[in-house]
Amino acid sequence: MANQFQLFKRRRFNAMFFTQFLGAFNDNIFKQALILVLTYTAASQIGVEVSILNNLAAMLFILPYFLFSALAGQIADKFEKSKLTRFVKLLELVIMTVAAIGFVFEWYALLFVALFLMGTHSTFFGPIKYAYLPQAMQKDELVGANGLFQMGTSLAILLGMIVAGVLTQLPQSLYWISATVVVVALLGYMAARFIPMTPAMQPNLTINWNVFTTSIATVRYLYSLPFLFFVILGNSWFWFYGATFLTQTPEFSKVILQGDESVVIFLLTLFSVGVSIGSLLCKSLTKNQVSLRLLPFGIAGLSIFAIDLYFSLSGLNNDLSSNTLLGISDVFGRGGSLRVFADLFFLGFSGGLYIVPLYASMQAYAPKSHRARIVGANNIFNAIFMVTSAIFAIVVLNSLNLSLPQLFLVTGLLNIIFGVFLYIKLNKHVGQAVMQTYDEPPSSES
């Protein structure tokens, strides 16, 4: 594992890592702070239901992934990535300045505009960063680099949510939030200035600016590469799975564990640290090879610990005499809570073993000339699966009237079915992917 961290000594890795880390960190400071402001301040001021505002916020952030991912992939394939990254990070600085104005003056419409623009920023940055790695890394560095990226993303999301929670509790909180998002955006731009140049993969590409026909063409092209198509389905399933669990974490923390906000943060920390450790171990366990050998263990762990979470939550004693929410130390003292904590940690750990091999395979076997567009297609499917996750949870909890533990049980059982299907399909097509370099796209693709 020591060699894995040696990558931080190389500018070709550390510059993009910290640019990505600061971007994800800022995304989550802004999103979480906005949700907290909408929940505790804006809803009462403008007379709109909290759930409506929060769902609108979630929709506005995800919408750009549907609209612009394919276009973002084209742009990342056509232009040199270091300059493109600096331009995107400069836009982030402008967007966060707009957001700061919205926070300070409590202009909620402007904050929603900034949220949509920040989702757009993330949409355009995604294909750049994931297409950059296979260009900048040696073949035996790719798995380790992806493990570090996944670790960094998980920790950035967690830290962003924690920092947002702390900032909203400070006096003059809106000013603190505004200053923080602008400063972090500035740091992200400064990190981007150290990214080395990487040659454009298809400089003569003619960009199709019609986002609808471009998206259809990109998905159709992906479907012509069956191994990559199923890799991306697997990636997107991870987003479905993670969203299903993490979205419900605050509710089961409060309703089942009867814990306060600190317990929510602790549970999210357990999951994020689990993902980070699992991601980092992928390099050692695969001996630096781009391989799917860890995928069955990831699939099995995701199901085993989801199903066990159902039993551990169902077995908790909820006969507390007080209605007061408990802190972390009090929750630790409850019988059965340690099993819940272990399940969440190993869910994250299994997720790390699951997702890193898939991301590394996507980068290694994508056509060099179309690599960023493949990442764009991945983002489209991720967005679809995340929205489907929300619909799935609503149907299970509200239409079928199942409990939260039962939702986790159903999700774990579905993962067995999907995981077996995915592994069979990937094994069927992996030979073709290894034999082909995919340097040239199929003749049917313009």
**pLDDT tens string 301-321:** 999 999 999 999 888 765 555
CATH number at residue 184: 1.20.1250.20
Higher per-residue pLDDT: 4 or 321? 4
Share of the chain above pLDDT 70, in %: 90
173 and 233 both lie in a single domain: no
> What pLDDT was estimated at residue 45?
62
The number of folded domains in the chain is 2
**Which of these three, 216, 242, 258, is where a domain ends?**
216
Higher per-residue pLDDT: 411 or 316? 411
User: What's the token pair of residue 404?
Assistant: 């939260």
Where do we find the tokens 């909408």? 38
Choose among 240, 234, 228, 275: nearest CA to 375.
228
Kindly report whether the global pTM for this prediction surpasses the value 0.75. yes
Q: What is the DSSP string of 109-127?
A: HHHHHHHHHHHHHHHHHHH
Q: What is the mean pLDDT of residues 9-33?
A: 92
Question: What letter does residue 292 receive in the DSSP assignment?
Answer: S
* Most confident residue range from 82-96, 158-172, 245-259: 82-96
34 and 173 both lie in a single domain: yes
> What pLDDT was estimated at residue 349?
95
342 class by beta-carbon count within 10 Å (0-12 exposed, 13-18 middle, 19+ buried): middle
161 and 268 both lie in a single domain: no
Q: Is the dihedral of CA 176, 178, 181, 185 positive or negative?
A: negative
Coil vs helix vs strand at 259: strand
152 and 239 both lie in a single domain: no
Structural domain for 98, as ranges: 13-216
Least confident segment among 17-21, 125-129, 324-328: 324-328
* Most confident residue range from 85-99, 195-209, 361-375: 85-99
Helix boundaries (H) for 2-49: 2-5, 11-37, 43-46
Choose among 157, 132, 125: nearest CA to 24.
157
pLDDT at 438 over 60: no
- 8 A C-beta contact, residue 198 and residue 82: yes
Q: What is the rounded average pLDDT for all residues in the chain?
A: 86
* Segment 174-224, tens digit of pLDDT: 999 999 999 999 999 999 999 999 888 888 888 889 988 988 988 899 988
Q: Is residue 181 part of a domain?
A: yes
pLDDT at 437 over 70: no
179 and 288 both lie in a single domain: no
- 8 A C-beta contact, residue 20 and residue 153: yes
165 and 280 both lie in a single domain: no
- 8 A C-beta contact, residue 291 and residue 169: no
Q: Is residue 424 part of a domain?
A: yes
Cα–Cα dist 26/13, whole Å? 20
